[in-house]
Amino acid sequence: MTTAKRVVITKAGGVSAITTQSMELPMPGEDEVRIKVAYAGINFADLLMRMGFYQPRPPFPFTPGYEVSGVVDALGENVSGVEVGQKVVAAMRSGGQASFVVAPVDRVIPLPEGISLEAAASTPVTYMTAHHMLHHLGHLRPEDKVLIHGGAGGVGTAALQLCKWAGVKQVWATSSKPKHHIIKQYDARPIDRHNEDFEAIIKSETDGTGVDHILDPIGGDHLRRSLSCLAEGGRLYTYGMSAAAPSGKRSLLKALFALRKTPKFDALRLMTRNRAVFGVHMGTWSNEAVMHEQLDRIVEGIQSGHLEPIVDRIFDAENIQEAHQYIHDAKNIGKVLLRFHDIQ
C-alpha cells in the first residue's frame, strides 16, 4: 500500500504549529490528475498563514502550498494533454505541500526537456507573481524605471530576471547588504534596506520624477513610502505583509501595528496624481486562461535561458519547521523548496 504524507498547519502560531502527518492517498476526479510530488515551493504567504495573518486561508488544520513539480501518477476521467509518468509542474490553489496531490488538468503543464523538477517547482508563484505585476498589469516597457523591494527573494529575483529579459535598464532593488551581489548580477542598482533611505535614493537618481513600477511585499507604512516614489502614471503593486511578521514568533501587537500603519488609499488623490495601486494574490486569481498563458511564457523564458530559477536550499518535508525558520531569518537568496520524493 502506498503511503502518503502532508505538511499540516495545526493552529495559528510559531514554527511549532507546523508539522508533517500521514494522509490517505487522494484520488483524481473528472478533469483532474494526481501528481507524485518531487518538490513543493514554500512562500512567505505560507508563513503568514501559519501565524494567522494572511487571508484567504482554509480553516485550521490545513495543508499549505501553491506550487509543485513531479510526475503524473494517475488520471481522472476526461483528462487529455498529459500522460501517466510525464514530468509536470502545477499551480495549486492550496494543499501543494504533500507527497501526492490532485490538481485540475488546466493548472498542470508538462515539462519540456531541459527543465529540472527543482527549477519547475520554483516558478508558479514567484515568477507568475512577478510576471503578472510587471507584464499583465504593468505592460512593462524597456524605457520604464522599476523599484523591487526584497530583490534577493523569490519574487524579487524573478522580477530582476524579467526586467533584464524585457531590456529594462533602470532597475533598483532593496535587500540586506550581504545579498547585493545577486542584484548586481542582473544589472540592477542595490539599495541597503537596513542602512539606506530608498526614497531619497530614488528621488535623487531619477531627478525627482520617480519610477514607473514598484513591487512591495512589505506593507504597512512601507507602502506609503513606496507610493511617494511613483512617477506620473506609475503603478505600485502590493503583494504581501512581511511587516506583520518580522520574526518567527506570532505577535498580534506587531501585526496590528503594521496594519494600522498601512495607508488608506484615497481614490481622488490617486486620480489627481495619476497613480495606481494594485493588490496581487495569485492564489485567488480565477482566470485560468491568463494563468496558463503566463506559465507558458515563463516556461519559454526558462527554455531560452532568459529566466533561471534560483533555488537557495531544499529541505526534506520532515524538516518543515527548520525551513520556515530559515525564511523568517531572511537567510535565503531565491527559492526554498520541500522535497517529498526523489524523482530522476
pLDDT at 99: 98
Q: List all residues 6 or more positions away from 181 whose beta carbon is below 8 Å from its beta carbon.
A: none
3: left (phi over 0), alpha (psi -120 to 50) or beta: beta
Under 8 Å between Cβ of 76 and 107: no
Partners of residue 37 on adjacent β-strands: 70
Confidence label for 294 from pLDDT (cuts 50, 70 and 90)? very high
- In 76-196, DSSP assigns E strands to 87-91, 100-104, 108-110, 145-148, 170-175, 189-192
pTM above 0.95, yes or no: no
- DSSP assignment letter at 169: -
As a whole number, mean pLDDT of residues 10-37 equals 96
330: left (phi over 0), alpha (psi -120 to 50) or beta: left
| Residues 315-341 pLDDT 10s | 999 999 999 999 988 899 999 999 999
- CA distances to 18, 40, 278, 329 from 275, rounded to whole Å, are 40, 37, 10, 34
Domains of the chain: 4-125+286-339 (3.90.180.10), 126-279 (3.40.50.720)
Q: Please name the residue that has the C-alpha cell 535598464.
A: 169
Of 158, 167, 194, the closest CA to residue 310 belongs to 158
| Residues 234-293 pLDDT 10s | 999 999 766 455 555 555 555 555 555 666 777 778 888 889 999 998 888 888 889 889
| Residues 37-69 pLDDT 10s | 999 999 988 998 998 877 788 999 999 999 999
Of 158, 122, 165, 132, the closest CA to residue 238 belongs to 132
pLDDT at 255: 53
Q: Which helix (H) or strand (E) holds 257?
A: helix 252-261
- CA distances to 152, 182, 289 from 178, rounded to whole Å, are 10, 9, 40
| Average pLDDT in the chain | 91
Of 201, 213, 115, 210, the closest CA to residue 159 belongs to 213
